[in-house]
């Protein structure tokens, strides 16, 4: 990979709650190259969406705060920018689409006005040019009759079409990175496939790098080049899709893959495997591996201390598990 476009380094986030401080992200690091797609996968509450919000500097403060780390994009640390400089990046060079477009689209403005506003703000286009760009983007995401529909309101679009509008808005300023947070969860299966095809197609045409946040292993297999598996606020395994899905190293990744619906056997009465136990509370101060209570391979060392990260294949394959630590680290 050439020099990374986006580098997240040791990112940590905490939230104040009534019962204590929840450490929702702990030392999260990954890198993304131009035109690359990285999947962030894990169960609900593992920190996937928090990672996206932290990159966009949208963690509500209070009660949340970024306590450590860097987010380098095009050579600048986004966490060190003043608010005005960050506003110039957000929705322009780094864009995000959310699970439910109705929470992001404003019901009282036409979709054309909302797309045009982004390009006028970030690109300084006049009203006529911004309107033309809105029509062009609606056409690019496959909205039929874009010149007419540009003047319609969000409620006049179906769920799938609204998600296309969100993608049009996110890509209107040619971002370097698009963060897609569960972009198809609210949609039916056929529309899901169309939205994934659309994102892949636009990525190929524009070179936009994509961070795809999902709990869907099928989407990861189809859409992404690399995958980072998150558990209890940490990345526990990262590698290419072929490596991680084909030969998972971390017991949690192995469990996730075993649970994926595509793995269901055709045998009558066959059951999906489940990972036993529940995700630990993020309020607990953990000395060891957060997965230890659910892991069939857990050893005394796993509860005593956090596993050292084992780096393989020149640095782009890594795993956080005592099973894969070098003998020196395991004994330390
Ligand atoms: Fe299981 Fe231990 Fe590895 Fe954690 S460190 S995943 S408990 S083997």
Q: What's the CA-to-centroid distance between 322 and ligand 1, angstroms? A: 6
Average pLDDT over residues 237-260: 93
The atom number, within ligand 1, closest to the CA of 297 reads 8
Cβ burial of 75 (10 Å; 0-12, 13-18, 19+) is: exposed
Ligand 1 first shell, C-beta below 6 A: 250-251, 289, 291-292, 295, 297-299, 302, 307, 321-323
For the entire predicted model, the pTM comes to 0.90
Residues 33-84 pLDDT 10s: 999 999 999 988 899 999 999 999 999 999 999 999 999 999 899 999 999 9
Is-contact 229 48, C-beta < 8 A? Answer: no
CA distances from 310 to 41, 226, 318 (A): 19, 17, 6
Average pLDDT over residues 287-294: 91
Mean pLDDT of the chain: 88
- Look at residue 77 and give its three-state secondary structure: strand
Q: How far apart are CA 303 and CA 238, in angstroms?
A: 22
Sign of CA pseudo-dihedral 279, 281, 282, 285: negative
Among 190, 87, 206, residue whose Cα is nearest residue 136: 206
Residues 189-199 pLDDT 10s: 887 888 888 88
């Amino acid at each position: 990979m050439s020099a990374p476009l986006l580098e997240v380094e040791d990112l940590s986030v905490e939230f104040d709650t009534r019962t204590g401080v929840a450490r929702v992200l702990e030392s999260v690091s990954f890198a993304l190259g131009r035109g690359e797609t990285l999947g962030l996968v894990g169960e609900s509450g593992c920190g996937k969406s928090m990672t996206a919000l932290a990159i966009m500097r949208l963690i509500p403060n209070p009660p949340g705060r970024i306590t450590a780390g860097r987010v380098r994009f095009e050579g600048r640390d986004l966490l060190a920018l003043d608010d005005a400089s960050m506003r110039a990046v957000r929705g322009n060079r780094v864009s995000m689409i959310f699970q439910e477009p109705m929470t992001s689209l404003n019901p009282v403005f036409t979709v054309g006005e909302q797309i045009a506003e982004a390009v006028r703000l970030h690109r300084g286009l006049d009203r006529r040019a911004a309107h033309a760009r809105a029509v062009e983007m609606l056409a690019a995401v496959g909205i039929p009759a874009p010149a007419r529909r540009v003047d319609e309101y969000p409620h006049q679009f179906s769920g799938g079409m609204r998600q296309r509008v969100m993608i049009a808005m996110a890509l209107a300023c040619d971002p370097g990175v698009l963060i897609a947070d569960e972009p198809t969860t609210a949609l039916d299966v056929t529309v899901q496939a169309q939205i994934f095809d659309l994102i892949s197609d636009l990525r190929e045409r524009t070179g936009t790098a994509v961070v795809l946040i999902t709990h869907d292993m099928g989407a990861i297999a189809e859409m992404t080049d690399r995958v980072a598996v998150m558990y209890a606020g940490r990345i526990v395994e990262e590698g290419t899709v072929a490596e991680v899905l084909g030969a998972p190293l971390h017991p949690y990744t192995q469990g996730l893959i075993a649970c994926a619906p595509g793995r269901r056997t055709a045998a009558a009465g066959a059951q999906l495997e489940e990972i036993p136990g529940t995700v630990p509370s993020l309020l607990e101060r953990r000395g060891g591996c957060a997965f230890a209570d659910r892991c069939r391979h857990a050893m005394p060392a796993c509860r005593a201390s956090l596993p050292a990260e084992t780096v393989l294949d020149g640095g782009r394959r890594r795993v956080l598990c005592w099973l894969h630590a070098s003998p020196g680290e395991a004994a330390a």
